[in-house]
A and B are shown apart, each in its own frame.
Chain A
Amino acid sequence: MEPSLHPGDYVLVNRWAYRRREPEAGDIVVLKDPGAPGEFLVKRVMSGDRLTGLFVLGDNEAHSRDSRQFGMVPMHLIVGKVRLHTKP
């Protein structure tokens, strides 16, 4: 996600962000990696909604595995929305 996020940054995630609200394009979300159980990814929402799932991309597109590879992410894999992130 460089340049938005860098290795070693902390992110605080709101797990309840999408209980009543639709995700918006531009939101940064943490999701369960559809290709690697137990791993988490952090990506930016491009489009989608709670019914169909989200299309997510990494900011550093050339080096990101994202919806271009694994397709739409169903909502049960979305952990939550990044509310705050801090840099070392």
Chain B
Amino acid sequence: MSVAHKLLRALDRVRPAPVAYAHCDIPCGIYDPHHAQLAAHTVIRMVDLIGQLEKPGPNAAPEQKQEYHNKLTRYIATKEQHAEIYKNEIRILYGDYFKPEHLQAFPTLHDTVWKALKAGSKGRQEINPAAAEDMLKLANEIAEAFWKTKNIATYKAKAPYPTARETVYPKLG
């Protein structure tokens, strides 16, 4: 221990200094895989909408072209944003929620998370229906493991959104 540190520690005892937090994740205990699942649904929906968008022909009016570009840009922007939300939510669960004992119970979790993040990147970069489906499938797997760690049973149901994909939900109440 340095002299400077001893001196500051002594001063701190006499007149305590305020604490400045470097790591500021408050261990609040509030985690839920639903955000990642929801973001995956959004990416699937945006890929669908992009696919359904009618491309303007060579003789299309400028207004039609403008309308097309406006819609396409908005769908892409939303897809980008929600793919990033997905990746962030997965990272939070992985880095902050899951503990070593959870990994012993779910030894494939490392691999699932790694695949989920890769699918998230691909879903963001490309207009790729398979990657978007993978995002949801992997988020569902993570959700199953998550709820099991809390001893909460899960069930699969079609989501009540236009995407209507099978989604893992906790059995609460």
Name B5's contact: one of A2, A39, A88 (CB within 8 Å): A88
Whether B2 pairs with A86 at a CB distance below 8 angstroms is yes
User: Is B69 part of the binding interface, using a Cβ–Cβ cutoff of 8 Å?
Assistant: no
* B22, closest chain A residue (CB): A1
Interface size of A by Cβ–Cβ distance < 8 Å? 26
* A31, closest chain B residue (CB): B20
CA–CA, A86 and B2, complex, Å: 7
Whether B5 pairs with A65 at a CB distance below 8 angstroms is no
Measured between beta carbons, the chain B residues less than 8 angstroms from A10 are 5, 8-9, 12, 17
Whether B17 pairs with A2 at a CB distance below 8 angstroms is no
CA–CA, A7 and B20, complex, Å: 10
CA–CA, A43 and B96, complex, Å: 20
Interface size of B by Cβ–Cβ distance < 8 Å? 19
Name A41's contact: one of B2, B17, B20 (CB within 8 Å): B20
User: Is B14 part of the binding interface, using a Cβ–Cβ cutoff of 8 Å?
Assistant: no
User: Is A19 part of the binding interface, using a Cβ–Cβ cutoff of 8 Å?
Assistant: no
Whether A41 pairs with B12 at a CB distance below 8 angstroms is no
Whether B21 pairs with A40 at a CB distance below 8 angstroms is yes
* B7, closest chain A residue (CB): A86
Whether B21 pairs with A33 at a CB distance below 8 angstroms is yes
Q: What would be 12 A-B contacts, judged by CB atoms less than 8 Å apart?
A: A7-B23, A10-B17, A40-B19, A40-B20, A42-B20, A58-B24, A60-B22, A60-B23, A63-B25, A63-B95, A64-B23, A88-B9
Report B's interface with A, CB cutoff 8 A: 1-2, 4-5, 8-9, 12, 17-25, 91, 95-96
- A39-B21, A41-B22 known; 9 new pairs, CB 8 Å cut-off, are A1-B23, A7-B22, A10-B17, A41-B21, A58-B22, A60-B23, A64-B25, A65-B24, A87-B1
